[in-house]
């Protein structure tokens, strides 16, 4: 192998190592790895969305962007706002958006705990039980009445889903749909 070839090979390995380490550090920091949703889960999420879906859809912990891009494609009348903190999946999503732009999709490399949920008509998430527990009071306080919450795998404790499905896959993956009730109603 030539010197140039060896340097390119070492550079590629260095980039892969830095990328992997960044995912590990981000996972330790946030408590949730950037895991892609399977095609079956994506289809189930899409089937549970209200149609027409107007307003703002938040994808919390968007990872590699698979759900965010699907939402943008299948609900063009909605504004999709995706949050991801890990830089490598975020960079992948940004590159994808640059190459194949969706006018209704906005990507943020930011902590969604610092974002406002007040204007969201729908929230989509695939997060850990601990993060879901931290989000529950924010959902109850900030999301407008009637807003939809779609959660892949992990539910909201104390909330009753208006619909749930258990997929016929290896993990029997649950997908939950919640609707924010009127403020005076108990969950």
Domains of the chain, residue spans = 1-30, 39-179
Per the model's pLDDT, the better-predicted residue between 73 and 184 turns out to be 73
Give the pLDDT score at 4: 78
Interhelix angle 87-99/66-74, rounded to 10 degrees, is 30
Asked if residues 173 and 167 have their Cβ atoms less than 8 Å apart, the reply is yes
What is this structure's pTM?
Answer: 0.83
Give the pLDDT score at 29: 62
Mean pLDDT value across residues 37-59: 89
Give the pLDDT score at 112: 95
Mean pLDDT value across residues 156-182: 93
Looking at domain 39-179, which CATH architecture does it have?
Answer: 3-Layer(aba) Sandwich (3.40)
Q: How confident is the model at residue 110 (pLDDT cuts 50, 70, 90)?
A: very high
């Amino acid at each position: 192998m030539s010197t140039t070839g060896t340097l390119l090979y070492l550079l590629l390995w260095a980039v892969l190592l830095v990328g992997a380490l960044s995912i590990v550090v981000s996972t330790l920091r946030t408590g949730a790895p950037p895991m892609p949703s399977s095609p079956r889960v994506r289809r189930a999420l899409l089937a549970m969305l209200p149609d027409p879906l107007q307003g703002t859809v938040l994808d919390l912990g968007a990872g590699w962007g698979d759900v965010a891009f699907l939402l943008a494609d299948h609900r063009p009348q909605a504004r999709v706002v995706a949050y991801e903190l890990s830089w490598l999946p975020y960079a992948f999503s940004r590159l994808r958006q640059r190459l194949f732009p969706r006018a209704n999709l906005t990507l943020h490399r930011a902590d969604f705990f610092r974002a406002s949920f007040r204007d969201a008509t729908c929230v989509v998430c695939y997060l850990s039980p601990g993060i879901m527990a931290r989000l529950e009071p924010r959902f109850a306080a900030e999301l407008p009445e009637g807003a939809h919450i779609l959660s892949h795998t992990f539910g909201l404790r104390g909330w009753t889903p208006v619909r749930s499905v258990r997929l016929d896959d290896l993990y029997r993956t649950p997908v939950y749909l919640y609707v924010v009730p009127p403020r005076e109603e108990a969950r």
